[in-house]
Chains A and B, each alone.
Chain A
Amino acid sequence: MTGNYIVTGSEKESEEGDVNLYLDDNDRFEKITQPAAVHDYPEASIKEPSLWQYFADRIRRVSEPLWHKKSRGDVLGMLAVSWFVSVLTWLANFDAILGRGWRLEVVKKLSLGDDKVVPDFSLSSILGYFANGIILLFARTFYFIPMILFALLSGYKFVKIAWKLAVFIYDKAVVGTDASWSEFFFYKVLPQATAELLVQFLFVTLYTMLVWPVYRILMIQYAVGEIKWTGFFSINQFKRSAGIFRRNASSVYAVYAFMLSLQIALYFILKPIDWVSFGFADRTFLPIVYVIFWYWPIGYAYGVLGRTLIQRGEIRPTGRITPDLNEEYNEEYV
């Protein structure tokens, strides 16, 4: 029997750790090897870049086009229009529609390898951003319908719990019943509310991790002209996009996860500012913040993803691709 043995108590144990001793069929010594154990270091050299360096480098690359001489005017124009629209449509929030359309243009330009990544600023292009923004808003709402329905159904159950609570308080305060708070809470509120929250959590998780990324792929396909706006509402198209997602899940998650985190983090940072200012911040300086820190990086990231998917042959754009899909371009932007 040839076995694999750990030898302890050998002379070299203290300096070199364990050794593997191989015995032959007659249990005679065959060979001794030095297994790589915890004492060994990874192959990686100190020169291996860290994620910190990677992010620092990407932040520089992502922000560079914004202050590049040839696109400075377009950026300032977009900021001005965004601010102007937000003030003009104080309650309707039209700047969000404009922002979405503008972001779609960023996705398109980066995916197709346009020399100038920042979208143009002209009256016709602004109207185009509005038009695309409205389409995206509809598509987004459509994809949110299951979530909305679920929230309504779940919300109805919470309303029932709230109703029970109101009746309980009324009975206690007006009728003067001596019912116990603890019993009410533990029997009538806790089990139902906990079950409801768990189901909500499960549903939202499934939706966020399995359905929403497919919508993002559809958005890229729409940006590069592979599908028309009707593609958002086609079951066959959804299936095709789900297939792209399944085959390229790690690349999609790579972009999607960070963008989702960025959006949620920004939401929790910016919304309190908005609430404290009674909505004033959202109509004055926040639209500018959104363009720079929300629409631009998200558009850029999905543009990079679009570029990757085009290169893999998963997405077939109808637009002109310039420059060619070469490594020089990849180095420059990705």
Chain B
Amino acid sequence: MRIESISEVSASPGFIARDILKIVQFWGKAVGNSANRKRLLSSILAYILLTPSAVSSFFIRGWRFALVREVLLTDGRASLPRLNDIWKIGEAVKQGVKLIGAKFMYDVPKFLILFVFAYDLIDAIIDWFYFLFFQWWMEPAAEVQTASGMVDATVTNFSLSFSSAILLYIVYSCFLTPAFKISEIKYAAGQMKYKGFFDPKELKSSFRLYRKYSAQTLEMYVYDNILMVVSIVIGLFFSLIFPPFILLIYPTVKLMLNHMPKYYGYALLAQRMQENGDIVVREQLADQEAISPLAA
């Protein structure tokens, strides 16, 4: 018999493999279990119906939030959010609007700095594009610049801007974005109010939790990015094969292969925090509106 402490366990290959297995099992339960399948189909229907107005992008963030909350409230059961009337969908949209607002505030510095780097890079990119596409490929005879000359002319600008941008992105990805995810978990648990996203004290406590669960948080963040790329590629592939059904296919693929598994990953992280007593789950969100019998 081997014993591992949840709170102290490192991101060993075995642990990562177990997490991947749990996510795959969860996916299987979502598709295989009839009650879950019904909720999954309801979620897909809502996502598709809201796509024409682009409200779907708010809805899906709220849905992911609800998924984490559902897993926490049901003590780790592999259950999807219950969406069997429009009022629950409205709640998801509302939470999505709030989360996008908070995320936007976190991302403003990143956007500004990346914009400065991108502006600096744009000259070099245009020069290369012009050289490769027009001089080198379309009109080789009219070539006035050699490839080595191009490299010499742009290498400093490129390497400096590009490496700075990458560095910034890594710093953001490794610090602020995962800390935001932890704040999101705390908010989903009902432990933190919405204004906590903008409260330095809460941010500090999220960083503290992040330091404790850094390996697991980054592990989930890596899944997050991998699943996002995979779902985009698969979604585009099927959409290109069946273009008339793009509004049906793309949301379905995105929900099943991206949003659902990746946020179950964050739910697993949330569960670990809950089991270690680092977050306390509350039944009622602090700012949740009372649903009247009419809307229930």
Contacts and interface: CB of A to CB of B under 8 A. Distances in A.
B78 A42 contact: yes
Interface string A236-266: 0000000000011111111101101101110
Contacts of B292: 308, 311-312
Interface residues of A, number: 63
B1 A307 contact: no
A278 interface: no
A209 B89 CA distance: 15
A48 B55 contact: no
B90 A250 contact: yes
A5 B5 contact: yes
B133 A7 contact: no
B238 interface: no
B181 interface: no
B41 A52 contact: yes
Interface size class of B (residues with CB under 8 A): 35 or more
Contacts of B75: 35-36
Interface in A309-334: 311-312, 327, 330, 334
A41 B291 CA distance: 26
A166 B45 CA distance: 46
Contacts of A45: 35
Interface stretch (B122-130, B145-153, B163-171, B222-230): B122-130
A4 interface: yes
Given A21-B3, A42-B33, A254 B84 contact: no
A15 to B, nearest CB: 14
Nearest to B6: A4
A250 B289 contact: yes
B254 to A, nearest CB: 17
Interface in B1-42: 1-7, 9, 22, 25-26, 29, 33-36, 38-39, 41-42
A38 interface: yes
B52 A268 contact: yes
Contact of B130 (A41, A183, A253, A312): A183
Interface of A: 3-10, 20-21, 35-46, 48-55, 180, 182-183, 186-187, 191, 205, 208-209, 247-255, 257-258, 260-261, 263-265, 268, 307-308, 311-312, 327, 330, 334
